[in-house]
Amino acid sequence: MDEEQATSAALSGVTEKSSNKPRGAVSIIVERCKGCGFCIAFCPSGVLTLSTVFNDKGYHYPEVAHPEKCTGCGLCGMYCPDFAICGARLPRGEAERKE
């Protein structure tokens, strides 16, 4: 399944058998975040939540609430205006190891 298909699958809420479900991960550069909330709102899988603590600039940054739900669609990274977050598909071996 390519990236486009994975995204539309995630967006439409279709789930697949756990051994085929793409797994992803997210990397956040907390100090760049300005708390706009785009990533949290537009993550189709509900991976992220707003932290209760602040970064040095006084913004609430995103935290990963449900890492197991991340499909690596990368939408968080596409929306982030501050280049503070990025998501990607984990290599298949990694995904299976996480089971």
Partner 1 sequence: MTQATTEASDKIVNPVEQYLRTERIPHIWCPGCGIGTTVNCFARAIDKCGIEREKMAIVSGIGCTGRVAGYLNFDSFHTTHGRAIPFATGLKLANPELNVVLYSGDGDLIAIGGNHFIHAARRNIDLTVICVNNFNYAMTGGQVAPTTPVNAVGTTAPHGVVERSFNLPFLAESSGAAYVARWTAYHVRQLTKAMVEAINKKGFSFIEIITPCPTLYERRNRLGDGLARMQWYKEHSVIKNGAPTRECDIEFQNEIVCGKFVDKDLPSFLEVRNAQLENLRREGIARS
Binding site for partner 1 (CB under 8 A): 7, 25-32, 34-38, 41-42, 47, 55, 57, 59, 61, 63-64, 67, 70, 75, 77-83, 86-88, 90-91, 94, 98
Q: Which is nearer to partner 1, 9 or 75 (CB)?
A: 75
Q: Assign residue 52 a region (left: φ > 0; alpha: ψ between -120 and 50; beta: otherwise).
A: alpha
Q: Which is nearer to partner 1, 21 or 35 (CB)?
A: 35
Tokens of 87: 């998501």
Our CA angle for 41, 85, 34, nearest 5°, is 70
Tell me how far, at minimum, the Cβ of 1 lies from partner 1, in Å: 16
Tokens of 27: 């990397």
